[in-house]
A = this chain, B = another copy of it.
């Protein structure tokens, strides 16, 4: 039997410090993202295409709701569409151990597999367990997994989603092991999709895989005891470099990745790899007053700096649209320096502002190694976990027409676990998505002891009061 299955079955996270509050925030943020996706015309179109396809498949016997919509679909379809919606704007949470987006697959999996009568705290616990499995798989797969072209939101996501679902339904060890095993055989998704709707679809695919793996295991489909860490299993095929199997289970339950280091959360719909660069550029922009045209005229050149590989997800160097700009260091920094908001109105399907496009063409990327002059030393281990913190240091230098050079650096961006998004900002995001009243009701529901899944979904679907 797989050690990971045993750990998932035995896990009891809600008693640990910070776990419950972190899970409440994650679910609140997820509901907001699922609703906000309709605010962007291109995202709304894509979501409606997938929903129309799912509806054309058939009439579900026991349909589950899709957050942000009025649809009820068969559970695996509800998970697919729900995961897609939540990640469509890249406005949803990320985790640095996963190197991807956990809640976008975890929450739709749990909503799809739960009964309406299931206690909401069970969902919060299962979210923490699924994230823990996903984070540990991410660490075991290591940076070479990402470097090779895998998209961990999809790969670690499938197994993490299955772990969450297995824990929610309190499957026994054998059934949990088969669910994890079947999910390991669905661990797929390539980074070639970054900057296209197939990237958020990966979150939906992971959620679908999680639901199907759990349901197939429950249906009695046989599978290997351990297709994750066992011989010729997932770590062997997807690990690329030397794997560290013990990272999967050693000390499982002693710390919780959802609380330490914790999730990154966003206010703006662009890739988290650019959050530090944008914050640094925004700081400099405060020193540059004037109109967009005046700023554009005054800036001669821009240099952005980060650790080697830290910008791997920022695949667009000369984006044509706002959508592509979400994955562009050059365009996002240009927008920030010019004082243009990085919101949906400016990062949608429309062509990118031509002044930002022009300035983006003058942005140069530079990779600097730890300890280089002008950069902070490599960060020490996280004091709560003893593990190394991924270095997210970012620097921006701007050369002006008057000869001045402005420089700013951000070690840990706002929204990162070390500078978490304040509750007030998270609630404002939820209120923007759901309206003040529903957002407040959702916050109260998540914090309460007795709420059910049905009460959550009643507030989180389209047309809710």
Contacts and interface: CB of A to CB of B under 8 A. Distances in A.
Contact of A193 (B56, B194, B223): B223
B190 A149 contact: no
A322 to B, nearest CB: 15
A367 B106 CA distance: 46
Interface stretch (A46-54, A260-268, A378-386, A404-412): A46-54
Contacts of A190: 184-185, 227, 232-234, 236-237
A159 to B, nearest CB: 11
Contact of A50 (B50, B194, B221, B232): B221
B53 A192 contact: no
17 contacts: A45-B220, A56-B62, A58-B60, A150-B237, A181-B198, A184-B190, A185-B205, A186-B205, A190-B232, A190-B233, A190-B234, A191-B232, A192-B233, A192-B234, A196-B224, A198-B222, A198-B227
A237 B127 CA distance: 28
A57 interface: yes
A187 B192 CA distance: 13
A258 to B, nearest CB: 26
Interface of A: 45-46, 49-50, 52-53, 56-63, 74-76, 148-151, 154, 158, 181-182, 184-198, 201-202, 205, 215-216, 219-224, 226-227, 230-234, 236-238, 240
Nearest to A185: B189
A182 B154 CA distance: 13
Contact of A221 (B188, B192, B198, B226): B198
Contacts of A187: 188
Given A191-B232, A193-B181, A223-B193, A61 B50 contact: no
How many copies of this chain does the complex contain? 2
A124 to B, nearest CB: 27
Contacts of A231: 149, 192
Given A57-B58, A57-B76, 8 more contacts: A49-B221, A58-B60, A184-B190, A188-B188, A196-B224, A197-B221, A198-B227, A237-B238
A265 B76 CA distance: 35
A202 B185 contact: yes
B149 A192 contact: no
Contact of A58 (B45, B59, B184, B223): B59
Nearest to A218: B53
A304 B384 CA distance: 56
Given A46-B221, A198-B223, A216-B50, A232 B56 contact: no
Contact of A216 (B53, B76, B238): B53
Contacts of A234: 149, 190, 192
